[in-house]
Amino acid sequence: MAPEPTPPLATIAAALRYERQRVGISLTELARRAGIAKSTLSQLESGVGNPSVETLWALGVALDVPFSRLVEPPATTVRVVRAGDGPRIRSEHADFVGTLLTAGAAHARRDVYLIELEPGRVRTADPHTPRSVEHVVVGAGRLRCGPERDQVELGPGDYATFPGDAPHRYEALAPGTFAVLVMEHP
């Protein structure tokens, strides 16, 4: 049982840079809003230094993100089942093989989409309703998708699932990419 794997020195640096650029403000502006010296913030984003809790807290408030997001590595919420992996279920009556990707949750509404994307166009999606879940199965091409901070690359037959209530993106890496997208919300 080791719930503290990574000393967060570098995590903080990466998280601060990411969250600041997500909000779209400059280092100087963020330092002003948080009420700290911009030199301090510069060093923190460079990975040097060991901020005090008050300093990091002020940055969390200014960025409007929960404190833990700045110190703990992003939770790997995306689950991938590669083509050919996963529990195989062979039908005895018909000539087909099924693979269980995700067990169906009762009383959840599911919307099914077919999405077609061309390379170079990134489709960003704002968070949906809380506790919604997205499922993707790639039909052809290559698809890069997932939560913004934890993206995965999928090929034909690959499956991925991740929460829909966090900002996430879809981006085709090859021409003629299409996928089946299931949005599940309770």
Q: Which residues bind DNA (CB under 7 A)?
A: 26-29, 35-40, 42-46, 49-52, 55
Dihedral, CA of residue 59, residue 62, residue 66 and residue 71, to nearest 10: -20
Q: Answer with the entry of DNA, a second copy, none that 46 interacts with (C-beta below 5 to 8 A by kind).
A: DNA
H-helix or E-strand containing 17?
helix 9-23
Least separation in angstroms between CB 72 and a second copy:
6
Candidates 60, 141, 146, 163: give the one binding a second copy (CB under 8 A).
Answer: 60
Neighbours of 30 (CB within 10 A): 20
Residue 8 in contact with a second copy, rule: CB under 8 A: yes
> Which is closer to DNA, CB of 11 or CB of 40?
40
Candidates 10, 37, 48, 61: give the one binding a second copy (CB under 8 A).
Answer: 61
72-88 as b/e: b if 16+ CB within 10 A: beeeeebeebeeeeeee
Distance in angstroms (rounded) separating the CA atoms of residues 45 and 66:
18
Candidates 24, 64, 87, 90: give the one binding a second copy (CB under 8 A).
Answer: 64
Number of residues that bind a second copy (CB under 8 A): 25
Neighbours of 99 (CB within 10 A): 14
Candidates 68, 76, 124, 129: give the one binding a second copy (CB under 8 A).
Answer: 68
